[in-house]
Structure 1
Amino acid sequence: MNKNIVLIGILVFAFFTIGVMNNRQSQIQESITYFPIDPKVTYTSTNTSIHFQKPQKSDKYLLKWQIESTLDRKAYLRQDIGFLFSNGRLIAKQGYWKQNTDHLIQEREIVGRESALVQALSFHYAELHENDEKIFSSQKMSADQIYIANLQNQAFHSFRNAFSKQEQEWKQKLDQHTKEFLYHSWEKGIRSFSINPEQYVSFPLTDLFLNPSSSFPGFTEQETNQIIGNLWEGLYKNYFLGIKKADGTRVKPIGSTIPLILIAKDKSHLLVLTETANGEPTLLRQMIGYGH
């Protein structure tokens, strides 16, 4: 009898332990959380790359999209997430996390069927525990973009820098098309939410990597890093995992527009404005806390 009781106790404990571990794994998987940046921790390499594969048929092509990063030490949690946009709309996303590692790599293949400006942006994140007492983080971004054009209705052709006259014309055409499309989308959202653009410094999410070592206007480097960390925390929870609408429901982000980031000039908050695949403007608001 006593042996049976002991056996039952062991089984109950085992099931409880497994449940706690699974719950913890789920919490870890769904967490990008900003903690103070540890200046001693660095990334030895970060890379986002888009590789164009010439098609066997002229009506489509293949993109190989890779995200890779290496930290200078093992971290309690490593996580990389990335977005892939084509002509201003999200066409794919990928994310990967792992505990007690310094290196992550992930890859996806995407089929394309039209001329496009393709832009990829990734966020590399590490959560570090110091003596199980203090928690720090490390973060970095990487990006890539390519142009894909169907030259004179022939096979698709890709380029990063426009050298030939045809490439220059296609670059201008695709840049202009994407810019105008996003402008009208963002204008629609600005009107919908009665936003005064003069009160904000705004830029597309894809421009966040253009000056990765620069601080936001009016903010120190430390403040900028915290804003970026909190921004990606919000993007992960409310964009990557699903766009959270005003009524609390979520919709898939695929097909949505590149988010517009608006930082209040009074340094109090920022806004993330996007439009879902079905044309509905959505808005995420984050408090910054540096306003006076």
Structure 2
Amino acid sequence: MMKRIIYISTILCSVLFAGFLYITKEETQESIIFFPLDRSVMFTVATTNLTLIDAKDEDEHILEWDSTSILDREVFLRQDVSLLFSDGRLKAKTSEWEDQSKKIAQYSKITGEDSSHYVAISYHHGEIHYDDNHIKSTQKMSGDHLYVIDSSFSSLESFREPKKTTQKEWKDILDHATEQNRAYALANLIDHFDINTTDYNQLPLSELVEYNEQPLFELDNEKTQQTIGKLWEGIYRNYFLGIKLKDGTVIDPIGSSEPQLFFHKDSSHILILFETSEGDPIQLIQYVPGSH
């Protein structure tokens, strides 16, 4: 069986005895590799759902975060990746893979504080092996968002679209706060990396879900899907698994800002900009397939 695995050694318990070092566990993490798309293999289900469960106590609430995908047939490798942002910052992440499967279902309960706007995006991927020299991919994205009002001035509630005046007011407050934080971080990133924004079309990562069936900016549908697959391959390796700093240190992405995607108008490359939880500026470059 042909598998691509990134090995991450984790020392849970080590004992130095008579010159020998014993390591009790080795942790493995599957990697996402994008191959040319096979249009004959399709997702029958691809969903991400956010649901407010209940109050944990007077200061915290519990959110259920579900991601499910089903293919129309069993394939060599299935993997789903899901990111949850709260007010523009990475709150949590999940990933699961299965050999010789068509379905993946992920369920998580997340504890949150105060009123927040949660946004989740999932990338559902399948690797199809006809033989070792004939490998294809299938992919789809899904997402959800939820406003949670957790305030001492009102009862705990949630909504996707406001239906009451108070909900509209809370939506405006949370949207304004998120946009301010995003704009501040983005201004610093653009200045730090000296980016001429007039050369780019900009999109938050969570809004990429809107391009399952429509083209991205100047790209056609085929190039869009190739670009999305390669983007997620890079996001998984360089953001989801950990952020590599200039000194080579790899840090957890939790608390980092939502990646902002800058698509160059000549369709040559994409800049992926974000800052770590400590405010370190990060820039990744993803070249558009076939552009060089």
Same structural fold, with TM-score higher than 0.5 when normalized by the shorter chain: yes
With the length of structure 1 as denominator, give the TM-score of the two structures: 0.88
Using the alignment, how far apart are the partners of 1:289 and 1:227 within structure 2? 6
Instruction: Describe the superposition over 1:42-72 as per-residue Cα deviations: whole angstroms up to 9, x where unpaired.
Output: 0010111111012153211101111110011
- Alpha-carbon spacing, 1:36–1:286, altered in 2? closer, same or farther (3 Å): same
2:51 alignment counterpart: 51
Using the alignment, how far apart are the partners of 1:261 and 1:26 within structure 2? 25
Kindly state the Cα deviation for residue 23 of structure 1 after the two structures are TM-superposed.
8.4
Contact 1:81 1:96 in 2 (8 A): yes
1:197 aligns with 2:197: yes
Kindly state the Cα deviation for residue 291 of structure 1 after the two structures are TM-superposed.
4.4
1:215 aligns with 2:215: yes
- Alpha-carbon spacing, 1:23–1:230, altered in 2? closer, same or farther (3 Å): closer
| Partner SS for 2:55 | coil
Instruction: Describe the superposition over 1:144-196 as per-residue Cα deviations: whole angstroms up to 9, x where unpaired.
Output: 00001135624421111100000000011111111111011011011111111
2:241 alignment counterpart: 241
1:87 alignment counterpart: 87
Using the alignment, how far apart are the partners of 2:214 and 2:274 within structure 1? 25
Kindly state the Cα deviation for residue 289 of structure 1 after the two structures are TM-superposed.
4.8
- Pairs aligned (count): 272
Using the alignment, how far apart are the partners of 1:56 and 1:288 within structure 2? 45
- Alpha-carbon spacing, 1:196–1:142, altered in 2? closer, same or farther (3 Å): same
Structure 1 range deviating more: 124-133 or 67-76? 124-133
Contact 1:151 1:157 in 2 (8 A): no
Instruction: Describe the superposition over 1:57-109 as per-residue Cα deviations: whole angstroms up to 9, x where unpaired.
Output: 32111011111100111111000001000000001000000100000111111
| Partner SS for 2:62 | strand
Kindly state the Cα deviation for residue 24 of structure 1 after the two structures are TM-superposed.
5.8
- Alpha-carbon spacing, 1:289–1:55, altered in 2? closer, same or farther (3 Å): closer
Q: Give unpaired runs (5+ residues) of structure 1.
A: 1-20
1:170 alignment counterpart: 170
Using the alignment, how far apart are the partners of 1:50 and 1:120 within structure 2? 8
| Partner SS for 1:266 | coil
What is the correspondence of 1:12-91 to structure 2 with a 5 Å cutoff? 29-55=29-55, 57-91=57-91
2:271 alignment counterpart: 271
Instruction: Specify which structure has the higher proportion of helix.
Output: 1
Using the alignment, how far apart are the partners of 2:129 and 2:56 within structure 1? 50
Using the alignment, how far apart are the partners of 2:174 and 2:246 within structure 1? 33
Using the alignment, how far apart are the partners of 2:238 and 2:211 within structure 1? 25
Match for 2:190: what amino acid? I
Kindly state the Cα deviation for residue 286 of structure 1 after the two structures are TM-superposed.
1.4
**Runs of 4+ in structure 1 displaced over 4 angstroms?**
21-28, 289-292
Structure 1 range deviating more: 281-290 or 191-200? 281-290
Kindly state the Cα deviation for residue 290 of structure 1 after the two structures are TM-superposed.
4.6
1:283 alignment counterpart: 283
| Partner SS for 1:274 | strand
| Partner SS for 1:37 | coil
What is the correspondence of 1:137-156 to structure 2 with a 5 Å cutoff? 137-150=137-150, 153-156=153-156
1:99 alignment counterpart: 99
Contact 2:50 2:145 in 1 (8 A): yes
Same amino acid, percent of matched pairs: 38
Using the alignment, how far apart are the partners of 2:226 and 2:211 within structure 1? 16
Structure number with larger C-alpha Rg? 1
Using the alignment, how far apart are the partners of 1:30 and 1:237 within structure 2? 10
Contact 2:61 2:150 in 1 (8 A): no
Structure 1 range deviating more: 86-95 or 203-212? 203-212
- Alpha-carbon spacing, 1:149–1:199, altered in 2? closer, same or farther (3 Å): same
Using the alignment, how far apart are the partners of 2:218 and 2:247 within structure 1? 34
Kindly state the Cα deviation for residue 279 of structure 1 after the two structures are TM-superposed.
0.7
Q: Give unpaired runs (5+ residues) of structure 2.
A: 8-27
- Alpha-carbon spacing, 1:121–1:24, altered in 2? closer, same or farther (3 Å): closer
Match for 1:81: what amino acid? V
Using the alignment, how far apart are the partners of 1:29 and 1:71 within structure 2? 22
Instruction: Specify which structure has the higher proportion of strand.
Output: 2
RMSD: 1.9
Kindly state the Cα deviation for residue 210 of structure 1 after the two structures are TM-superposed.
2.6
